[in-house]
Every structure is written in structure tokens, then in C-alpha cells.
Amino acid sequence: MRLKDLHLKLKGLRQKSFLIGDGGSKKRKQKISMPPWIALLHGYRVVEDQSFISGSDEAEPEADSVVAHRERTEELELWFFGVSNAQVGDRVTEYMQSHLFDRNPKESQIRRKSEETMRKAYLGARAEIRETHKADETWRAGSVSVLVTNTGELVTASMGNYRAVVCRAAVAHEIGSRDQQSAKRYWSRRLISGNKQSKGLLVGAERIDAPTEFIILASTGIWEVMNDQEAVRLIRYIDDPQKAAEYLAYEALNRRSKSRISCLIIRFH
């Protein structure tokens, strides 16, 4: 089964199961086989009905897309999760399928290969968006993806104001770091122009260890009304990742977020 076949575009507040082999049930979480020292659960929430965002009669853009996919190779078992703006999602997931999963990566190469492939997938998606969309629409494009391996590797990539936050021993952090010069240019442009600018590409990797509790993948609508540590604090004691995702989205709505709200929680036990 190809990755693109599992890519879902979720409409409105309606939620559908997107787990592999669940027979179409309404259950939205699944325990996935990991090394004996860890188990993985996930849940998501996408909100589309936010007509108050634009305050105009313009057609609402497509809802964010969510993907959750398991892939087996000769040596590895991989799980790929993503939350993306409709402009980005298909491009990234199709690239990952054809340039990583279909090529049966070796265990010794998985971190390097997955980082390299994610980087190229995002750079390609960004270049295509710049060619086909107006400049004032390009900054809205965003995506965040996470690759988890059964060997304990964790690789993330994010673009725009979507990002992944890892909670480790109650402390929130992003994996990797953006180029310092790029960050300075970003803030300089924002201060000079007064326009909203999106952040650049962030790719990073690390090991999943005992203190790793969960990951939040979320869109701009979450992060514009709360910081990383606050998001972690809000859901840390909610064991069910589906309930955690719903609560995080609810809190963003309650705080009157002005951007699209979508999130996916991956919890390790």
C-alpha cells in the first residue's frame, strides 16, 4: 500500500479513523509495536470551521491534512506522521514515499537518509509553492512531519509556523535549530516591512529515550496563542493522545486563535 493512499484531508469537525488495519472503526488511537521498552499511541484534531479568521466572503481554503503511516522494510519498521497545510501535504508525503520508503533504507543509514530526504521534500515543496502561488499566499504554507523508527530514532522537519515540540521529562523543546543568520534576517524583514513572515525550514534528529514522553505536531493556530512549554503543561497529564489533541485544539479556540488549528499527539509509554 502506498503512502499517498493513506493521506487524508479531514473536513470540518468531523473525524475519521486513519489507522492502518482498523477495519474502518471509529477508534482514533492504536498501540504500535515498538522495542520492548516503549509503546506508541497517537491521536489528532483538525478544526476547519473558522470562518471568523478572514472576515470576508472569500472561499475558505482547504482544511489541513493529517497523515499517519506505517512502513516495513527488510530491516526496519517506520512510522511517518504529519500535519500540513493543504498546499504542502501531498508534495511532502509523495516525495517521502518514492525517495525513502520505496528504497528500503538500511538500519545503519536511516538517520542520515531520513534527514536528507525530509529536507529535500520540504525544499521541493517550498520551491513549487513559490512558483505557483502569489507571494502573499506563500507565507501561509506550513507543514510538520515526524519519522519514528523501531530502533528509537526520531527525525522531524517543519516549515512555516507549523512545528513539532518534544516533551522530555516535563520540559518542551524543538529538535534541531534554525540557522542564526536566517533567524536574524527573518526578524529584520518583519520589523522593517511590518508583514507577517513564516519561519524557514527546520530539520533535526535525536534518540527516543526513557524521559521522552510525547510529541506535539501542530499548526500556526496552536502556536500563536501558546508557547511550547505551555502546550506541554496543558496536556502532559492527559494519557489518551486523542483527548489531549482535542483539548489542545479546544484551548486554542477558546483563546480565539486567528489561524488554522490542527494538531497530532504522539505519546510514548
Q: Residue 45's closest CA among 1, 14, 89?
A: 14
pLDDT at 193 over 70: no
Helix, coil or strand: residue 235: helix
- First-residue to last-residue Cα distance in the chain: 28
* Per-residue pLDDT tens digits for 206-246: 999 889 999 999 999 999 999 999 999 999 999 999 999 99
Q: How confident is the model at residue 144 (pLDDT cuts 50, 70, 90)?
A: very high
Q: What is the pLDDT of residue 38?
A: 63
Per the CB < 8 A criterion, the answer to whether 255 and 226 are in contact is yes
Determine the distance from the C-alpha atom of residue 132 to the mean position of all C-alpha atoms in its chain, rounded to a whole number. 23
Report helix, strand or coil for 165. Answer: strand
Rounded mean pLDDT of 63-69? 90
Q: Which of 154, 163, 147 is nearest to 202 (CA)?
A: 163
- Where b means 16+ CB within 10 Å and e means fewer, 137-169 reads ebbbbbbbbbbbbbbebbbbbbbbbbbbbbbbe
The set of cell numbers assigned to 159 is 516549515
Residue from 222, 265, 262 nearest 85 by CA: 262
Whether pLDDT at 262 is above 60: yes
Domains observed in the chain: 3-52+61-268 (3.60.40.10)
| Half-sphere exposure (Cβ direction) of 233: Cα atoms closer than 13 Å | 5
φ, ψ at 202 (rounded to 5°):
-125, 125
Long-range contacts of 115-119 (CB under 8 A, 24+ apart): 115/155, 115/203, 115/204, 115/205, 118/145, 118/147, 118/155, 118/156, 118/157, 118/203, 119/157, 119/201, 119/203
Res. 18: pLDDT tops 60: no
pTM for the whole structure: 0.78
Q: Check whether 6 has a pLDDT greater than 60.
A: no
pLDDT range class, residue 137, cuts 50, 70, 90: low
How many residues would you count in the chain? 269
Instruction: List, for residues 87-133, the tens digit of each pLDDT value.
Output: 787 889 999 999 999 998 888 899 999 999 999 999 998 888 888 76
| Predicted pLDDT of residue 61 | 61
